[in-house]
């Protein structure tokens, strides 16, 4: 049977802005690439969607079979591990030694036992290991089907990797969790939550409808985090630059992480930053209708706060020197003014507290 490597993880990652230039992308079809017929191509693919018109429902899938396989991959202490799945969770924790162990758990549900078993035959995890680099990718059957296949298969990974491993993990509808890994971590999910704990470098962490949390990060590089409707949470984070975006989800930075540059942007979500304002850094907070609250531990900063229809409040007021203020704009200097703090909202309220 002809198989197609799952591109969803890769391309969903690309959609979420996670794919590196070296990321390998596989063909999803043999159609001629055309930027002039992009819309037609999407419509064409939609009409060919094999899931459309399936007569059954999830509750029809009463038969279930599962399978577990463990792969030991000698990628070295600082190797690279790429994990991609569609429906399934990814859990990766740091271990010792120079090998990663990847337990692949496949769970297939079908209308009959035969259907469920066929799911395990058709859907598998492909492991590619070359030197210090390994990739584990869920592989689904491809090709136009007269009817959707009568099974549903989840492919999950439970991974223990050497602490120095670079990890890239993506799932479409499952949660992704990476803990204790000190190599560069990129993690994404479309509808699942993404959580990264005790890492040393986070290149990117993104979700569409899930929450994203970064806890206990000490990084010398930039961190890029985003969600559409989920919340974005930073706790005890230290990094040179932290960028976060959301549409309706809130963004919070708590427990006094230190950064030298921040850019938090939301549309309707609230933004709450409680941390140090690093000397010489630029800290930008912008929301359309969400409230922005900055609690700054700082040597000093130049404040530029403006809003169209919200309110601006600074505490304590006497901390602000050389202030020029109107109901919709406040500018002034706190301490030595070495950093820049810019907050902008359309209708959200702005509160800046100095301590």
Partner 1 sequence: MTHCRDIEEQLSLYVDDLLDNAAATDVRTHVDHCAACAGLLADLAQIASTAKLLGPIAPPEHLYARLVTRLPPASGSGTGPTTGRPLWRWAGIAATVVAATGLIWFAIGMGQIDGPGAPSEAAMADGFESVASEVDLAVRHYERAVSDLETAARVAEGALDVDVATAVRSGLDTLDRAIAESRVALDADPASEPARISLFEALRRKVDLLQTTVVIVNDTNSTEAARPVTTTERAL
User: Of 229, 258, 325, 338, which lies in the binding site for partner 1, with binding defined by CB under 8 A?
Assistant: 229
Which member of 98, 306, 325, 338 binds partner 1 (CB under 8 A)?
Answer: 306
| Residue 133 binding partner 1, by CB under 8 A | no
Asked if residue 56 binds partner 1 (CB under 8 A), the reply is yes
222 binds partner 1 (CB under 8 A): yes
Site residues for partner 1, 176-195, by CB under 8 A, read: 190-191
Instruction: Please report whether residue 126 would count as binding partner 1 according to CB under 8 A.
Output: no
For residue 236, the minimal CB distance to partner 1 (Å) is 22
Q: Which stretch binds partner 1 (CB under 8 A): 92-100, 136-144, 194-202, 213-221?
A: 136-144
First-to-last alpha carbon distance for the chain, in angstroms, is 65
Using CB under 8 A as the binding rule, whether residue 145 contacts partner 1 is answered as yes
- Kindly report each contact of residues 215-223 with a partner whose C-beta sits within 8 Å and lies 24 or more positions away, as own/partner: 217/257, 221/184
Spatial distance between the Cα atoms of 61 and 119, rounded to a whole number of angstroms: 12
Q: Which is nearer to partner 1, 23 or 256 (CB)?
A: 23
Pattern 1-40, partner 1, x by CB under 8 A: ---x-xxx--xx-xxxxxx-xxxxxxxxxxxxxxxxxxx-
Q: Give 190 or 296: the residue with its C-beta nearer to partner 1.
A: 190
For partner 1, the binding residues in 94-113 under the rule CB under 8 A are none
Q: Which is nearer to partner 1, 222 or 323 (CB)?
A: 222
Q: Is 333 in the site for partner 1 (CB under 8 A)?
A: no
- The encoded tokens of residue 108 equal 């297939």
Task: Supply 282's token pair.
Answer: 């630029």
CA angle 238, 240, 244 (to 5 degrees): 80
Candidates 71-79, 251-259, 294-302, 344-352: pick the segment binding partner 1 (CB under 8 A): 344-352
Residue 69 has φ and ψ, to the nearest 5°, of -135, 140
User: With respect to partner 1, which residue has the nearer C-beta, 149 or 238?
Assistant: 149
Span 254-283, contacts to partner 1 by CB under 8 A: 263, 265, 267-268, 282
119 forms part of the interface with partner 1 (CB under 8 A): yes
Residue 168, phi then psi, degrees to nearest 5: -125, 115
Binders of partner 1 among 66-85, rule CB under 8 A? none
Question: Are 107 and 61 in contact, with CB atoms under 8 Å apart?
Answer: no
Question: Least separation, in Å, of the C-beta of 117 and partner 1?
Answer: 13
Nearest to partner 1 of 17, 216 (CB atom) = 17
Part in contact with partner 1 (CB under 8 A); list of ranges 70-78, 93-101, 161-169, 301-309: 301-309
Nearer Cβ to partner 1 (186/354): 186
């Amino acid at each position: 049977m002809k198989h197609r490597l799952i591109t969803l993880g890769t391309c969903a990652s690309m959609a979420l802005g996670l794919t590196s230039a070296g990321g390998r992308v596989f063909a999803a079809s043999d159609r001629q690439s055309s930027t002039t017929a992009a819309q037609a191509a999407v419509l064409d693919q939609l009409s060919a969607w094999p899931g459309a018109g399936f007569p059954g429902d999830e509750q029809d899938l009463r038969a279930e079979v599962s399978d577990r396989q463990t792969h030991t991959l000698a990628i070295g202490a600082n190797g690279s591990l790429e994990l991609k799945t569609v429906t399934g969770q990814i859990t990766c924790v740091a271990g010792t030694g120079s090998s990663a162990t990847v337990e692949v758990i496949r769970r297939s549900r079908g209308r009959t036992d035969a259907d469920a078993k066929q799911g395990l035959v058709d859907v598998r995890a492909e492991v590619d290991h070359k030197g210090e680099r390994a990739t584990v990718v869920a592989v689904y059957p491809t090709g136009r089907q007269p009817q959707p296949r009568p099974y549903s298969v989840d492919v999950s990974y439970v991974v223990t990797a050497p602490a120095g491993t670079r990890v890239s993990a993506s799932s479409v509808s499952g949660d992704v969790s990476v803990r204790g890994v000190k190599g560069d971590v990129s993690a994404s999910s479309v509808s699942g939550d993404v959580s990264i704990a005790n890492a040393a470098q986070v290149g990117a962490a993104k979700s569409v409808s899930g929450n994203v949390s970064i806890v206990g990060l000490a990084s010398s590089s930039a961190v890029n985090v985003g969600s559409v409707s989920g919340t974005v949470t930073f706790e005890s984070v230290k990094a040179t630059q932290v960028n976060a975006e959301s549409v309706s989800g809130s963004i919070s930075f708590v427990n006094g992480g230190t950064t030298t540059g921040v850019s938090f942007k939301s549309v309707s979500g609230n933004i709450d930053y409680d941390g140090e304002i690093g000397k010489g850094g630029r800290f930008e907070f912008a929301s359309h209708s969400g409230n922005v609250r900055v609690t700054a531990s700082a040597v000093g900063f130049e404040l530029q706060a403006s809003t169209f229809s919200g309110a601006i409040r600074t505490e304590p007021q006497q901390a602000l020197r050389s202030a020029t203020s109107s109901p919709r704009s406040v500018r002034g200097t706190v301490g030595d003014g070495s950093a820049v703090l810019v907050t902008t909202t359309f209708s959200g309220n702005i509160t800046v507290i100095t301590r």
